[in-house]
A and B are shown apart, each in its own frame.
Chain A
Amino acid sequence: MLDVSALLFWLLAAITIAAALAVVLLKNIVHSALYLVLTFAGVAGIYILLQAEFLAAVQLLIYAGAVAILIVFAVMLTRRGDIKASNLYNFNYLAAGVVSLALLVIIILGNGRMAWTAAPAPAPASNVAAIANAFLGRYAIPFEVAAVLLLVAMVGAILLARGGKPER
């Protein structure tokens, strides 16, 4: 049983990382957006392995469903020029690649040498109830701040997207 879930984990992790690499490396931004859906789905799969089914459902609905579709819409509405070359590299990819690889090695070494002793807490009986308790209890302040943050982002998006038309 344990082996199956470990196998599933590595499979999902590989899919997620491969899809994420495709998002960055593909030159057509619509393809990137589609691989983004796959990335989100892979993360949702990992949530299920962690017995966080509610989170997985939210991840699929909001990220894979709404966010990715919105990105595709935004691309279609703002597209200019050749779609086949819409997600290009800049000229520093060699330097960036070296730096990223070095960073990756450091992170792998740092995390690999660590004995992750913290025992996983047992999953709560009801995911939704646990999340609700956390949001409206212990984490009420960040929850409210996140609400204000979303409002600010919305107001800002409208202000900036409406452009420089003077008020009547």
Chain B
Amino acid sequence: MANWHLLTVEILTAALGLGLLALGLLVPHSDRRGIAYVATAGLAGILAVAIGMREASGVVLGGYVIDPFGTYFKILFLVAAMLTAVCSYDYVEKMGLNQAEYYALLILATLGMMILASSGELVSLYTGLELMTITFCILAAYHLGDAKSAEAGIKYLLLGAMSSAIFLYGLSLVYGSSGTTVIREIGQQVATRGASPALLLGTIFILAGFAFKVTAVPFHMWSPDVYEGAPTPVTGFLSVASKAAAFAALVRVFFGALPDLHNFWVQLFIALAVLTIVLGNLVAIPQTNIKRLLAYSSIAQAGYLLLGIVSFSVLGVGAVAYYAMLYVFGNMGAFMAATAFYNNDGSDEIKDYAGLARRSPLVAALMLFSLLSLAGIPPMAGFVGKFYLFMSIISRQYIWLAILGILMSMVSVYYYLLVAKAMYLGNPPEGSKPLQVAPGLQVAMVVSLLILFILGIYPTPLTNYAMNSAVTFFMP
């Protein structure tokens, strides 16, 4: 008898998503806004269940692993989905279309990420990945009638399909050379039989597939265009949650199935990390559109996260998990501010942010502190996260990599502060009014701000949980 109760979080999420689809057909058009509240409340309920199950562990049907690591990431996805849902209320109403389907798709994308983060077996890993990707294709193109949104959807669909094909080919090579799809058994096969050419080839292809999802350079080319064109809340969700999901699956595959090859793949990850950190930060400087700026900044953030993978240690994986969580609040904070601004002024250009601090102190403060957290300035949570990431690689003697990361963090302060300069020193345009921000979004903004400070000043409980969840991968 399978232990189905371990799947509670996934089953509830699927039920919520499908229920919202049905609800959307039943509720009259005038009451559609209620669906958004049902979605948020449902996500909050599932979040509570997930937190309650944070220590649960077990294997369902031989290939689906429930462990603290997976549950940590599920909590992360649920938090990100909740923030996205709150942030979408006005935005989706403005788009004027299919609100129920929007929230249902948001939740089903979350389901895909959960499957991805918990799969101990390649077939479910791939279906989870596809559920996430295809849902995001639809969400990216959701702004019907907007050419940029359509472009974003098509680009993500075509390039995503190509990366999926490469990824799938890699999976087939790994399956062919080990004879099993269960990640743990692949690890045993590799340990006894050693590496074969086809296995190495498969490893490279799988790495390319993941690099596409985490927007590591040189597999990043889709992200600025997709981030710019997609509806702003979707961009926020895409940049934090899908990236975190890919990192969770990456850790599971590379640390679970291929730890014996780590001398080989660590070299590849170092190259990816260096390229990603340098290019992401340098190309972010000349950007004039806030969403493109955040796209390049999130490419750079993926590079920092890759450092944790390079270190191949408990500290490194724990640092990735911790950094991914505060990256949710940092990046979603910035995107919430961008959404609030877009809802009022209909613009994403940084020059239009001039004088924002006088028009809405809360939105400007959220943007400022989120960006400071992304830059890793001390009182904010980002500092602690980067500290752990750099510590993890220094403990592996990659001093030069840490120095490069710190130098590039300084570069990032420059372009983040350009936005702050516009908001705080610029003059608001003639006749501009204070920003109207919905009460729900205001609450979410204040909560994110508080969490960014709290995690920066007192990170211990979360880092402990993150580090403990990472231990799984280094037990015999």
Chain A contact residues, CB within 8 Å of chain B: 106-107, 109-111, 113-116, 118, 137-142, 144-146, 148-149, 151-153, 155-156, 159-160, 163-164, 166-168
Q: Which of A149, A152, A156 gathers the greatest number of chain B CB atoms within 10 Å?
A: A152
Q: Which of B63, B104, B124, B137 gathers the greatest number of chain A CB atoms within 10 Å?
A: B124
The distance in angstroms between the C-alpha atoms of A18 and B123, with both chains bound, is: 29
Q: What are 21 sample pairs from A and B whose C-beta atoms fall under 8 A apart?
A: A106-B201, A110-B197, A110-B201, A111-B173, A114-B197, A118-B179, A141-B7, A141-B124, A142-B127, A144-B14, A145-B127, A148-B18, A149-B131, A149-B134, A152-B131, A152-B134, A156-B138, A159-B98, A159-B144, A160-B138, A160-B141
A152-B105, A166-B96 known; A114 vs B196 contact (CB < 8 Å): yes
Distance in angstroms from B425 CB to nearest chain A CB is: 39
Question: Closest chain B residue to A156 by CB distance?
Answer: B138
The distance in angstroms between the C-alpha atoms of A111 and B97, with both chains bound, is: 50
- Any A CB within 8 A of the CB of B275: no
Known pairs A142-B124, A159-B98 / 7 extra A-B pairs, C-beta < 8 Å:
A111-B173, A114-B196, A144-B14, A148-B111, A149-B134, A159-B101, A163-B145
Which residues in window 153-211 of B have CB below 8 A to A?
Answer: 153, 173, 176-177, 179, 196-198, 200-201
Distance in angstroms from B456 CB to nearest chain A CB is: 37
A110-B201, A116-B176, A142-B127 known; A155 vs B101 contact (CB < 8 Å): yes
A110 touches B200 (CB 8 A): yes
A111 touches B61 (CB 8 A): no
Question: Closest chain A residue to B111 by CB distance?
Answer: A148
B14 touches A118 (CB 8 A): no
Q: Is the interface of A mostly helix, strand, loop or mixed?
A: helix
Distance in angstroms from B91 CB to nearest chain A CB is: 16
A141 touches B64 (CB 8 A): yes
The distance in angstroms between the C-alpha atoms of A142 and B138, with both chains bound, is: 21
Chain B contact residues, CB within 8 Å of chain A: 7, 14, 17-18, 21, 29, 60-64, 96-98, 101, 104-105, 108, 111-112, 115, 123-124, 126-128, 130-131, 134-135, 137-138, 141-142, 144-145, 153, 173, 176-177, 179, 196-198, 200-201
The distance in angstroms between the C-alpha atoms of A118 and B101, with both chains bound, is: 46
Q: Which residues in B have their C-beta under 8 angstroms from that of A145?
A: 111-112, 115, 124, 127-128, 131
The distance in angstroms between the C-alpha atoms of A145 and B115, with both chains bound, is: 8
Q: Which residues in B have their C-beta under 8 angstroms from that of A140?
A: 61
Residue of A115, A149, A155 touching B21 (CB-CB under 8 A): A155
Q: Which residues in A have their C-beta under 8 angstroms from that of B200?
A: 110
Q: Which residues in A have their C-beta under 8 angstroms from that of B134?
A: 149, 152-153, 156
Distance in angstroms from B42 CB to nearest chain A CB is: 16
Q: Which residues in B have their C-beta under 8 angstroms from that of A142?
A: 123-124, 126-127
B96 touches A152 (CB 8 A): no
Distance in angstroms from A9 CB to nearest chain B CB is: 16
Distance in angstroms from B167 CB to nearest chain A CB is: 15
Residue of A111, A149, A152, A168 touching B197 (CB-CB under 8 A): A111
Residue of B7, B108, B135, B177 touching A114 (CB-CB under 8 A): B177
The distance in angstroms between the C-alpha atoms of A152 and B7, with both chains bound, is: 21
B137 touches A109 (CB 8 A): no
Distance in angstroms from A131 CB to nearest chain B CB is: 13
The distance in angstroms between the C-alpha atoms of A109 and B204, with both chains bound, is: 14
Question: Closest chain A residue to B189 by CB distance?
Answer: A118
A138 touches B63 (CB 8 A): yes
A110 touches B198 (CB 8 A): yes
Distance in angstroms from A47 CB to nearest chain B CB is: 15
Question: Closest chain B residue to A153 by CB distance?
Answer: B134
Distance in angstroms from B173 CB to nearest chain A CB is: 8
Q: Which residues in A have their C-beta under 8 angstroms from that of B197?
A: 109-111, 113-114
Q: Which residues in A have their C-beta under 8 angstroms from that of B179?
A: 118
Q: Which residues in A have their C-beta under 8 angstroms from that of B17?
A: 148
The 6 A-B pairs of least Cβ separation, nearest first, read A156-B138, A164-B145, A164-B144, A110-B201, A142-B124, A114-B198
Distance in angstroms from B80 CB to nearest chain A CB is: 19
Q: Which residues in B have their C-beta under 8 angstroms from that of A110?
A: 197-198, 200-201
The distance in angstroms between the C-alpha atoms of A139 and B62, with both chains bound, is: 9
A148-B14, A159-B98, A160-B141 known; A111 vs B105 contact (CB < 8 Å): no
Distance in angstroms from A46 CB to nearest chain B CB is: 14
The distance in angstroms between the C-alpha atoms of A164 and B96, with both chains bound, is: 9
The distance in angstroms between the C-alpha atoms of A163 and B105, with both chains bound, is: 17
B62 touches A138 (CB 8 A): yes
Residue of A113, A144, A163, A167 touching B96 (CB-CB under 8 A): A167
A146 touches B98 (CB 8 A): no
Q: Which of A110, A142, A151 gathers the greatest number of chain B CB atoms within 10 Å?
A: A142
Q: Which residues in B have their C-beta under 8 angstroms from that of A167?
A: 29, 96-98
The distance in angstroms between the C-alpha atoms of A163 and B137, with both chains bound, is: 15
Question: Closest chain B residue to A145 by CB distance?
Answer: B127
The distance in angstroms between the C-alpha atoms of A113 and B112, with both chains bound, is: 37
The distance in angstroms between the C-alpha atoms of A141 and B66, with both chains bound, is: 13
Distance in angstroms from A109 CB to nearest chain B CB is: 7
Residue of A139, A144, A155, A164 touching B105 (CB-CB under 8 A): A155
Question: Closest chain A residue to B10 by CB distance?
Answer: A141
B105 touches A156 (CB 8 A): yes
